[in-house]
Each structure stands twice: as C-alpha cells, then as structure tokens.
Amino acid sequence: MIESQRSISHICFIGAGYVGGPTAAVLARECPHVQVTVVDRNAERIKAWKSDVLPVSEPSLLDVVRGPRDGLNAEKRRNLHFTTDLEGSIQAADTIMVAVDTPTKSRGTGAGYSLDIGRLEEVAMSIAQYATSDKIVVEKSTVPVGTGHTISNILMDNSRVGVNFEVLSNPEFLAEGTAICDLLSPDRVLIGSSDTKSGLSAAQALADVYATWVPRSRIITINLFSSELSKLAANAMLAQRVSSANALSLVCEATGANIDQVMHAVGSDSRIGPHMLRSSFGFGGSCFKKDILSLVYLCKSLHLDDVASYWQSISDINETQKSRAVSRIVSRFNNSMGGKKVAVLGFAFKEGTGDTRESCSIDLVKGLLHEGALVNIYDPYVDKSQILKDLGFGEESSGGSVKICQSGEEACEHTVAVLVATNWDMFRVNPKALMNGVKSSYDDTNGEKEASSKARGVPYGNGSTSCSATG
C-alpha cells in the first residue's frame, strides 16, 4: 500500500501527443526539481519532439520545450527527455501520467459509441509488467467513468509481487491553440482518487507538484469517478453552448432576428457569460464529439434514455449545421456549383493549431466537392499532404478539384465565395480587400455589405464562422 507522505520526483508521460507533450514541457519548466520523461511508441513523433520542428503546433511551445538559451545554441530543458524506451522510463519514474489517445470506438453497440480505452489498457499492462517499484498511475487521457477500476485491476492482476499502484484521475482541460497559457494558468486542476489513505496520499503528492505554479485554491481533489465524469461533463456542456447558439441561429433566420445580437444580449447575463456562444459552422476537434458520444453511451447503458437523447441532440445539431452551411451556399448559386471556385480559409479545427481532427472544414469541403465545386484551401499550419489525406485523396493528387494555396489571397483568387472556416486573426479581412480576388460577376449586388457577405459565403453571423473548441 502506498500510504506514507509521498513526494514525486520523476514523472513519466506515456503519449507524446497534443496533451502529453505540452503538459510534460510545462511541468518540466515549472518544476525544475522533477525529472520528466516523455515516452511514445511512435519513433517519428519522438524524433520531432527532439528537433526544432515539433510535432504539435502551439504558440510558445518551442520555447517551453527548448528551455533557456545557453550561449548561441538552443539547449533542451535539462530535466525534460523524450524517448521510445517504455520499459526503462516506467522503471525510472515514481509517477506515470498516461496521455494516450482514447478515440471513439470504430464499432458501436446497441448503446452507441463508447470511448476506446484499448491503448490505456495496453499501457497499464506494460506498467504492470515492467514496474519494479511502487508507482502512482495517473489517467490524463479522457476516459469513461469507471476506467480507474479497470486500470487498477489490470495493474494488480499482472504486476510483480510486492509492487503496489495507486490510480489517480487528473483529466486535462487545455484547449488547443492556447495550450501553454491554459497549462500555466489553469482554471482548475482536478485530481480524483480513491478515498483510501493511500489514494488520498497519492492525490496530495500530485497536488503538491501542481502547487509549484498553480494556486492551491484552484486544485480540486475529488473522488475518482467524479473526476472522470467531470471531464466528459465539461466538454459536453461547452459543446451544448455551441449547439444552443446554432439552434437559435435557425430561429433568427426564420424571424429576422440577428444571432450575433441575440447571443451578445444573452451572454451579457452574468449567470450565462459570453463564452462559446458564437453561432458557427459547428464545433470540431478530437474531443467534443467523442466525449458527448461517450456520455450518450453511458446514459444508454444505464437505461437513462431521455438523458441520452438530450446529449445526442447536441451532436445531431452540430452535424446538421455543417450540411446546412453547404446547402445555403449552394442555394445562393441557384443550386449549381459545377466548376465554380470556392475558397476555404482555415482547415484546422480552430485557430492556433494544425490539428484537423473532426474539423468542420473537412465536411464543408467534401460537401462543396460533392456539389461539383472546385475548392481552394489555405491554412497557415496544416500541410498539403494532411489536407489531401483528410479529404480522402492520395498523398499528392486531388484530380484538380482541390488546390492547396500558400496564402489567403491566393486562395481567394477567381473564387465566387469565400468561407472563413477557422477563426485566425489573419482572416478577419477587410471585405473590400478580399473582394479583389473574388470574381467580379458576383460583385453585382446592391451594397458593399451584401456583396461581401455573399462573396464570403458566410451563412451565419457577421464574418468569422469557426468555433473554438477545447479537448
């Protein structure tokens, strides 16, 4: 049993992705007395973390990873190491933070689509087999409620005699694009544990690490299952705000009300607040949809069918919003997009990141291509091969229907409509400047405002149409 006052001096992160990499780097920066090792089975990813071209694009991340400059050469932070050596890393650490991906299961059951914790179980098995001393094992990944028990059982059933484990939940709330700020100044740090003496002692040890830079008042310790559910609930409620705004945008369109004005008025109520209330093409990113589906699955398996339907409707509205956007653009052109060129500005799911997982742009572009349009795409962070892969094309070719551009201006040239699909500041363009690249035959509307809105193909609100999403 891990009971006495513990302290943490060597943390191993397993999973060097959007969560594991930045979190490990910030922890190493803020806790120079703690050794931090980041391990991943993807050797290419580890190689990239050791280079100056990191596998994750985040403002300030390179500086945090690189650490203080030493003379002319950029030094890597001395207490931060990236490796593929899983066995050695597990053995050396007293605490293991598991930040592997937990995607939606590819095959659903009667209750829908749960999160796939297969990678987490695999990691738990490795920890059990390799550990030669007691470990605190921390779920950083987003998991279904009850996963802590599953992981504990795997560890207990497969470990060496005399080696003990304490499983904690410490879900991550960072949002891509602002990951470093979010990690340095989190709204809260959540630590869930069993209420045994050893569970509480392990939670205290982890809280002490965070307290190096996070005020104690923001470190919340709760029970393991509450912590696991809180992460799913937080994402579901953020997504629910986006879908509420989008659902109201339909009412606005039918009544002549203006959704931006309505959301401003609604969000001015201090009980509601202004965040995540912008009508948009919908939420994207790897987390919101999968976490809602996981909540739906949980509710259905508990026979809470009405509750399941409530959460399911938030995901459904999001899907409708994307197809509605394409339909509106197409109807603006008399349902005839054949051969017409459309620009899509931004391909990542939000600004500040190159992550395209579940990006609305993918569905928007596919919808436009289906209608026969030609699409010019520009994103400052996403490379050509990723875009073509996401659209289901081979590495280099889209058969001429898609052109990947080097700038927003190039993307807008000779287009009939421009979709501002990601909320980058650089896309908050002067409509007149934008119109320079847009085909003049569509410049024939009454006023400049109408012309710009038509050219931009912006179906809702007054301009930027992306939506920030957290993970």
User: Is 66 among the annotated ligand-binding positions?
Assistant: no
Min dist. Cβ of residue 338 to ligand NAD (A): 38
Interface stretch with ligand NAD, choices 115-123, 220-228, 364-372, 440-448 (CB under 6 A): 115-123
**Residue 20 binding ligand NAD, by CB under 6 A:** yes
Residue closest to ligand NAD when measured from CB atoms: 17
Task: State which of residues 58, 94, 101, 371 lies at the interface with ligand NAD (CB under 6 A).
Answer: 101
Q: How many residues bind ligand NAD (CB under 6 A)?
A: 26
Nearer to ligand NAD, 144 or 457 (CB): 144
Nearer to ligand NAD, 318 or 415 (CB): 318
**Residue 136 binding ligand NAD, by CB under 6 A:** no
Interface stretch with ligand NAD, choices 28-36, 40-48, 306-314, 452-460 (CB under 6 A): 40-48
Task: State which of residues 2, 8, 13, 18 lies at the interface with ligand NAD (CB under 6 A).
Answer: 18
Nearest-CA neighbor of 190 among 171, 209, 210, 204?
171
Nearer to ligand NAD, 16 or 96 (CB): 16
**Residue 210 binding ligand NAD, by CB under 6 A:** no
**Residue 141 binding ligand NAD, by CB under 6 A:** yes
**Residue 176 binding ligand NAD, by CB under 6 A:** yes
Min dist. Cβ of residue 189 to ligand NAD (A): 13
Nearer to ligand NAD, 12 or 330 (CB): 12
Which residues are tagged catalytic?
Answer: 287
**Residue 16 binding ligand NAD, by CB under 6 A:** yes
**Residue 297 binding ligand NAD, by CB under 6 A:** no
Min dist. Cβ of residue 209 to ligand NAD (A): 19
| Residues in binding site | 40, 45, 102, 142, 173-176, 231, 284, 290, 350, 357
| Residues in binding site for NAD(+) | 40, 45, 102, 142, 176, 290, 357
Binding region for ligand NAD (CB under 6 A): 14-20, 40-42, 45, 99-102, 119, 122-123, 141-142, 172, 174, 176, 286-287, 471
| Residues in binding site for substrate | 173-176, 231, 284, 350
